[in-house]
Structure 1
Amino acid sequence: MIRIYNPYLVAMSATIGGMLFGFDISSVSAFVDNDSYRQFFNYPGSTEQGGITASMAGGSFLGSLCAGFVSDKLGRKHTIQLGAIIWMIGAAIQCSVQNVAQLVCGRVVAGLAIGICSSQVPVYIAELSPKKIRGRLVGLFQWAVTWGIMIMFYISYGCTFISGPQSFRLAWGIQMVPGFLLLLTLTPFPESPRWLASRDRWDEAIEIISHVQGNGDVDNPEVQIEVQELKEAVRIDKLSADVTIFDLFAKGSRLRTFVGMSGQIWQQLTGMNVMMYYVVFTFAMAGYNGNSGLVSSSIQYVINVVMTVPALLFIDSWGRRPLLIYGAIIMSVWLFAVSGLMASYGHWVPSVAGNANIRWSVPSKPAAKAIIACNYLFVATFATTWGPGIWIYVSEIFPLKQRAIGNGFCGAWNWIFNFALAFFVPPAFQNIQWKTYLIFAVFCIAMSTHVFLLFPETKGKTLEEIDIMWAENIKPWKTANADLTELAANRDLVKDEKSKEVEHMENNA
C-alpha cells in the first residue's frame, strides 16, 4: 500500500474531522429563524430550540469521554475513521427527519463522532509533527472548523430558498460528504509512531519517524534524538499500570489535568460558539432580518476563516501564553462594547420579526452598525487566538501514557459547557437580553488572569521536554526561556546517584 508521510498532508486530511464540527455549528444557525424550519417543528420555543442545538454537544461530551480508551485500543487513525462512520450515520438520521425527537437523536449520534474526532485529531497530528511546526499543524484543526462553518452556512443559506422541509433535509444530508472524505483520505497515512511504540511495534514507529523527521534517513540526528526520547518515554510509561481517568488526578498529573480542563472550558466561555449558533438572533436585534440578516451574519464566517491564518503562520513564534492572554483581554473589550451599545441604544420588545425568542431591538442604525462591527472584531480576535490556540495547547501538555485519555477527558469539558451554553443562550436572549454579552466579557477577563498564573509555555519544545517541564514545576511565566535540556540532564544525574546509593546500601547490608 502507498504510504504518505508528509506532515502537512497528514494534517490536511485529519483536520477534515474539524470540518465536521464546523458543519454542525452552522447547519443549525442558518435555519433557527427560517419559516420552513420553524413551521415544520411547530415553532420551537427558546427552551426547545436550546435543547435541539445543545443535543449535538451532549453527544460530543459522551464521544470525548470514550475516545481516549478507544484510541488506545484501535490506534489514533482508526479511531478517527470510526468517528467518520458514526458521523455519516448521524447525518442520515437528520436528513430523514420527521420530528424534533428524530432530529435530537441524529444530532446526538453526530455529536458522538465530533467528540471522538475533536479530541483525537489534535493528538494524531501532534504525535506525527516535527516540534518546529507542531503548533501550525495542530492549528489546522481549528482552521478546518472555520471552513466547515462557512461552507455549511452558505450551503444552508442556499437551501433556504427551497420551500418546505426539503430545504433543511438537503443541507443536513450534504453533511455526509466530509465524513466520507475523512474516512477515505486517511487510508494512505501512517499510524501515530508514539502509539505504535507503546505497542512495541518499534520497526514501524522508527520508519515513520525517519520519514517525518529525516526524509527516510534513520541515521538522521533529529530522528535518533526523537527515537531515544520516545524510548525513554515508553519505558517510563510501561512502569505504570493501565491508565484510567482517575490517574489524571494522581500526584504529578492533577495540575496539568486541571489546566487542560479549564482551558477547554474557558474556550467555550469566551462566547464564540454562542455567536456562531445564534448569530442570526444577534443580527435580528440589530435590525437585520431575512436574507439581509443571513448575508450580513455570514461575513463573520469568512472573517473566521481568514483570521485563523495568522495564527497558523505565527503561533510557533508567538508562543501559546501571549496568544491566550492577550486574546482574552481583547475579546472582553468587544463584548463590553456590544453590551454597552445594546443597553444604551436598545429597548425591550415582545418579539422581533414575529420571533418571540428575540426580545431586544436596537433601532438606531449607527449603533446597530457598531454592534455588528464589534461582532466581526470579536470573531477576528477569537480566530487568531483562542480558536486554534487551546486545541494546540491541550494536545501538547500530557505525557504519552495519558495523552489520548487526557485529551478526550479535557475535550469532554469543552463539550459539556458547549451543551450548557447552547441550552442557556436562547432563554438568556429572551430574559436578560444585552446582559448576556456582559457575562461573557467578565469570563474573558477571568481567563486571561488564569492563563498567566497557571499555563506554562509549550512553544518549541518536544512533547517529552514538556513532560520534564511539568515534573520540574517551573513557574508558568518563567517557562518560555527555561533550559529543559539542562534540567533533564541534572534530573537524570540525580536519579543515577540515588540508584548508586541504594545499590551501595544493599551491598553493604
Structure 2
Amino acid sequence: MNRYNFLCLLYVTCGSIFYGYDSGCTTSILGYPAFIEYYKLDSILIGAFGSAYYGGAVLGMASNWFLPDRIGRLRSIQIACVLGIIGISMQTGASSFAVFCTGRIIGGYASGVIFSLCPTYASEISPPEWRGRVGGIFSIMVNASYMVTEWIGLGLSFVHGDSAWRLLLGLQLVPSVGMLVGSFWMPFSPRWLALKGRYEECCDVLKKMHGSGHDDDFYLQEYHQVRAQIEFEKEEKLGLRTIIRRPSYRKRIYLVVALGFFMMMSGIIAIQNYQVIMYNNLGMTNTMALTLTAVWGTVGTFSAVMTTFFFDKLGRKPVIYISYGLQITGCLLVVTLWARYEAGHSSNAAMGKGVIGVMYLVCLGYSGPMNAFIATYPAEIMPTCIRSAGVATAYVVMHCIMIVIVQITPLALEVISWRFFLIFLIANAIFVVILYLFYPETKGKTLEEMSALFGDEVAETLEEAGMHVKDEKQQTQHIEMSIS
C-alpha cells in the first residue's frame, strides 16, 4: 500500500467518527440534569429522542440503495456532510423538543448515509490483504470517537447550565466539516467508475492507489479483473433485480440481514446507550456513572485496536467466535449477578460492582470485532452492481432493530430489569450456530473472486488477469523492438 492509498483509506474510515460521536452524545447527555429539565424528559421522551436519531439514520442508509450508484460514493458523502451541518446546528440551538428531534432526524440521516457508505467505499479502494485491517481501523475510529465523547461529556458535566450540553452537541460539527473539506482531495471509487464505463479514469485511480512505482503488475491485474467482472455483470444484466432471480444473490442478502439483526440482538445498544441509567440503578452517583461511561469507551477502543492486529491474520470467523465467547459469558454474568443484587444478597454492593465489571466484558467482546465485521464482511461478499445496496441493507436492518431497543429499554429496565438481558443471551447463542453453518471465510480474496464462494462465475481470476498483463507487455515490447 502506498502513502496516497493509506491517506484515502484514513479519510474514508473517518466516516465512523460521525456515528461514534453522535452515539456518545446520546449516552452522556442523559447524565446532564440541565438537559433533562430543559426538555422535561421522562422515559418515553428519552426513548423518543434516541429513536429520532436512529430513525433518521435508517432513512439515510436506505438512500444508499440507489444514491451512491447514481451519483457516486464521493458525491453522496459530500451531500450528507452538508445535511449533517444543518441538523447539528438545529440540535445545538433548539429551543423546543420538536426542533431538537427534527435536528436529530436530519443529523441521523446524514450519519446514516456516511456510516453505511464508507465501508463500501473503503472496500473498493483497499488492497485485498488490507481489507480486514481497514475494517479494524473503522472500528477503532468509531470506538475512539465514542471514547473521546464520553471523556468530554464527563468534563463538561462540571459546567453548570445549558451551555454544557449545547457545547457537547455542537462539537458534532467537527467531523462533518472535516470530512466535507477533505472530500475535495478524494478520488472517485475505481469500481464505481468502471460501473459507469469510465475505464480510463478507473485505471488512473487504481494506478495512483495501488501502483508501487517499481512493479505495476498488481494494479494492472486488478484493473483487468475489475473491468472483466463489470462487463460480465452488464452482459448478464445483473443488478438489484438479480437479488430476486438468483439464489446466490438472495443468500448474500440473507447473510447481511441476519448479521444486522443479530448484532443488535447482542444487547450492546441497550447497555451502551443507557449505561448512565443502569449505573444509577446499581447505586452509582451521577459523576461516577459518567466516569464509568468514559471507561466503557476506553475499553471499546482497546478492543478495536486488538481486532485490527488479528482480523486479517486469523480471518473473519475465528475473531467473531472469540467475540461471541466474551459476549455470551458477559451476558450470562450480567443476568446472574444483577438477579442476586436485586434479591438483596448479603454482599449487595459487591454484586452491583460485579454487574458493572462484566458489562465491560460484553464491551470488550463486541466493540472491536463486531464493528470491524459489519464494516468489512457485507462489502466483501456483495458484487459491485449491488454492493452499496447490500451494505445499506445490513445497516438498515441493524438500525431498525436498534430503534426498537432504544425505545423500549428505559421501560424494560424499570419493569423487568435483568430479565430483559435473557433475550440477548439466547440470541447470541443462536447466531454463533448460524455463523458456523452459513458464513464463508473471505480473508485474502479480491472482491471479484468472492462470487466463487457463492457458486457464481468469476469473469477473470487474478492469475488470469496476470497472464493478460504479461501478454500485453510482451506485445508492447515486440512492437517497440520492431520499430527500433
- Pairing 1:367–2:365 present: no
| Contact 1:97/1:169 (8 A) holds in 2 | no
Q: In structure 1, which of residues 112, 116, 119 is the aligned counterpart of residue 113 of structure 2?
A: 116
Q: How does 1:9-24 map to 2 (within 5 A)?
A: 9-24=7-22
- Pairing 1:55–2:52 present: yes
Q: How does 1:232-271 map to 2 (within 5 A)?
A: 232-241=228-237, 243-244=239-240, 247=243, 250-271=246-267
What's 1:387 paired with? 371
Instruction: Please list the CA deviations of residues 138-184 of structure 1 after superposition, one character each: whole Å capped at 9, or x if unmatched.
Output: 33222211122112222222222222222211111111111000111
Q: How does 1:276-295 map to 2 (within 5 A)?
A: 276-295=272-291
Post-superposition shift, 1:87? 1.2
- Pairing 1:326–2:310 present: no
CA distance in structure 2 between the aligned counterparts of 1:35 and 1:463, rounded to whole angstroms: 49
CA distance in structure 2 between the aligned counterparts of 1:308 and 1:102, rounded to whole angstroms: 35
| Contact 1:196/1:205 (8 A) holds in 2 | yes
Instruction: Please list the CA deviations of residues 17-40 of structure 1 after superposition, one character each: whole Å capped at 9, or x if unmatched.
Output: 101101111112112142111111
CA distance in structure 1 between the aligned counterparts of 2:339 and 2:459, rounded to whole angstroms: 51
CA distance in structure 1 between the aligned counterparts of 2:269 and 2:39, rounded to whole angstroms: 23
CA distance in structure 1 between the aligned counterparts of 2:241 and 2:115, rounded to whole angstroms: 18
Instruction: Please list the CA deviations of residues 76-124 of structure 1 after superposition, one character each: whole Å capped at 9, or x if unmatched.
Output: 1221122211111111010011122122111111111111111110011
CA distance in structure 1 between the aligned counterparts of 2:44 and 2:246, rounded to whole angstroms: 39
- Pairing 1:131–2:115 present: no
Instruction: Please list the CA deviations of residues 176-215 of structure 1 after superposition, one character each: whole Å capped at 9, or x if unmatched.
Output: 1110001111221211110011112111111221232222
Post-superposition shift, 1:362? 10
Post-superposition shift, 1:423? 0.7
Q: In structure 2, which of residues 402, 412, 425 is the aligned counterpart of residue 418 of structure 1?
A: 402
What's 1:468 paired with? 452
Q: Indicate the larger mover: 51-60 or 160-169.
A: 160-169
| Counterpart residue type for residue 286 of structure 2 | G
CA distance in structure 2 between the aligned counterparts of 1:269 and 1:165, rounded to whole angstroms: 35
TM-score by length of 1: 0.86
SS in structure 1 opposite 2:165? helix
What's 2:4 paired with? 6
CA distance in structure 2 between the aligned counterparts of 1:54 and 1:362, rounded to whole angstroms: 39
| Counterpart residue type for residue 135 of structure 1 | G
- Pairing 1:343–2:339 present: yes
CA distance in structure 2 between the aligned counterparts of 1:87 and 1:336, rounded to whole angstroms: 39
What's 1:28 paired with? 26
| Contact 1:347/1:362 (8 A) holds in 2 | no
TM-score by length of 2: 0.90
Mind listing any 5+ residue stretches in structure 1 that lack a counterpart? 349-360, 474-482, 490-509
Q: In structure 2, which of residues 198, 202, 219 is the aligned counterpart of residue 201 of structure 1?
A: 198
Q: In structure 2, which of residues 290, 295, 299 is the aligned counterpart of residue 299 of structure 1?
A: 295
| Contact 1:26/1:152 (8 A) holds in 2 | yes
What's 1:401 paired with? 385
Q: How does 1:49-128 map to 2 (within 5 A)?
A: 49-128=46-125
Identity %: 24
| Contact 1:127/1:192 (8 A) holds in 2 | yes
Which structure is higher in helix share?
2
| Contact 1:156/1:171 (8 A) holds in 2 | yes
CA distance in structure 2 between the aligned counterparts of 1:249 and 1:408, rounded to whole angstroms: 20
Post-superposition shift, 1:220? 2.1
Post-superposition shift, 1:425? 0.8
What's 1:144 paired with? 141
| Contact 1:17/1:182 (8 A) holds in 2 | yes
**Number of residues of Structure 1 aligned to a counterpart in Structure 2:** 463
| Contact 1:68/1:408 (8 A) holds in 2 | yes
Mind listing any 5+ residue stretches in structure 2 that lack a counterpart? 465-484
CA distance in structure 2 between the aligned counterparts of 1:410 and 1:388, rounded to whole angstroms: 13
Q: How does 1:443-482 map to 2 (within 5 A)?
A: 443-471=427-455
| Counterpart residue type for residue 9 of structure 1 | L
| Contact 2:73/2:117 (8 A) holds in 1 | yes
Cα root mean square deviation, aligned: 2.4
Instruction: Please list the CA deviations of residues 28-59 of structure 1 after superposition, one character each: whole Å capped at 9, or x if unmatched.
Output: 211214211111111x2222211111111111
- Relative distance call for 1:390 and 1:249 in structure 2 (3 A) is farther
Q: In structure 2, which of residues 187, 198, 202 is the aligned counterpart of residue 190 of structure 1?
A: 187
Q: Indicate the larger mover: 135-144 or 311-320.
A: 135-144
| Counterpart residue type for residue 371 of structure 1 | V
Q: Indicate the larger mover: 439-448 or 152-161.
A: 152-161
CA distance in structure 1 between the aligned counterparts of 2:211 and 2:262, rounded to whole angstroms: 38
CA distance in structure 2 between the aligned counterparts of 1:40 and 1:245, rounded to whole angstroms: 49
| Counterpart residue type for residue 288 of structure 1 | M
| Contact 2:383/2:447 (8 A) holds in 1 | yes
| Counterpart residue type for residue 52 of structure 2 | S
